[in-house]
């Protein structure tokens, strides 16, 4: 699909844009919010609990008065990335667009939570490099494929096994298991949702994103 590569190149070649530096800075926004902005990047197989955990963490942060927003994989595909397929190239473009959007939210002083399979390690590294050290916290929702298939909330694994869906991660498309994630959670049943939320919040306190 040529559209992805065209998008990827054009944003680098546009010499008619001049970056505007706002007087209200990220630092001022963070002080107003009483917390730092950061990206929590939840990655894992479909059915591993990424979205459930991301929204549960957001709920806890909201109760603490934090400014937050969850970018959910399916929701983004309805709008911002509705023109993309699930080919390897378009998956990479999907992640690139999300990363650029998250970068803006971080500048806005917001804690951005992203729940995407993001199967390729190279794509996740590009996000980390784009956002910069300390701005990207990768959280691996580790869950065995067989458990994800048993859950199969959307019935997609069944379709993938039947050959009705191509390029399905874990079945006909690879997933690069993170080897340098900032946090690894056992979402296959070893840790409860409540425990996972507590661990994530504790990490944010330890890293100084939240005040204890």
In the prediction, which pLDDT does 101 show? Answer: 94
H or E stretch covering 95:
helix 88-107
| Helix 88-107, helix 26-33: angle, nearest 10 | 70
In the prediction, which pLDDT does 13 show? Answer: 58
In the prediction, which pLDDT does 14 show? Answer: 63
Active site residue 118: yes
> pTM of the entire structure?
0.88
In the prediction, which pLDDT does 3 show? Answer: 41
In the prediction, which pLDDT does 199 show? Answer: 98
d(CA 141, CA 137): 13
H or E stretch covering 147:
helix 145-151
Question: Block means of pLDDT (10 residues each) for the chain, length 212 residues?
Answer: 43 66 89 96 96 97 97 78 81 90 96 95 96 96 96 91 91 93 94 97 97 78
Of the residues 48, 118, 172, 173, which is catalytic? 118
Class (C level, CATH) for 25-143+175-206:
alpha beta
d(CA 47, CA 204): 25
In the prediction, which pLDDT does 81 show? Answer: 79
H or E stretch covering 36:
none
In the prediction, which pLDDT does 78 show? Answer: 76
Q: Give burial (CB, 10 Å; 0-12/13-18/19+) of 102.
A: buried
């Amino acid at each position: 699909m040529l559209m992805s590569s065209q998008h990827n190149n054009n944003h680098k070649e546009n010499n008619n844009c001049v970056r505007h530096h706002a007087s209200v800075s990220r630092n001022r926004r963070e002080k107003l919010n009483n917390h730092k902005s950061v990206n929590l990047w939840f990655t894992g197989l479909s059915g591993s609990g990424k979205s459930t955990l991301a929204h549960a963490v957001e709920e806890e942060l909201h109760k603490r008065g934090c400014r937050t927003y969850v970018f959910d994989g399916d929701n983004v595909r309805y709008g911002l990335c509705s023109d993309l397929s699930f080919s390897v190239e378009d998956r990479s473009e999907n992640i690139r667009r999300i990363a650029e959007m998250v970068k803006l939210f971080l500048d806005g002083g917001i804690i951005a939570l992203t729940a995407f399979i993001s199967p390729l390690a190279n794509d996740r590294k590009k996000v980390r490099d784009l956002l910069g050290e300390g701005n990207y916290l990768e959280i691996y929702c580790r869950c065995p494929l067989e458990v994800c298939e048993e859950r199969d909330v959307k019935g997609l694994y069944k379709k993938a096994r039947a050959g009705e869906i191509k390029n399905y991660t874990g079945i006909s498309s690879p997933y690069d298991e993170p080897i340098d994630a900032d946090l690894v959670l056992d979402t296959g049943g070893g840790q409860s949702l409540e425990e996972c939320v507590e661990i994530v919040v504790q990490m944010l306190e330890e890293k100084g994103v939240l005040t204890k």
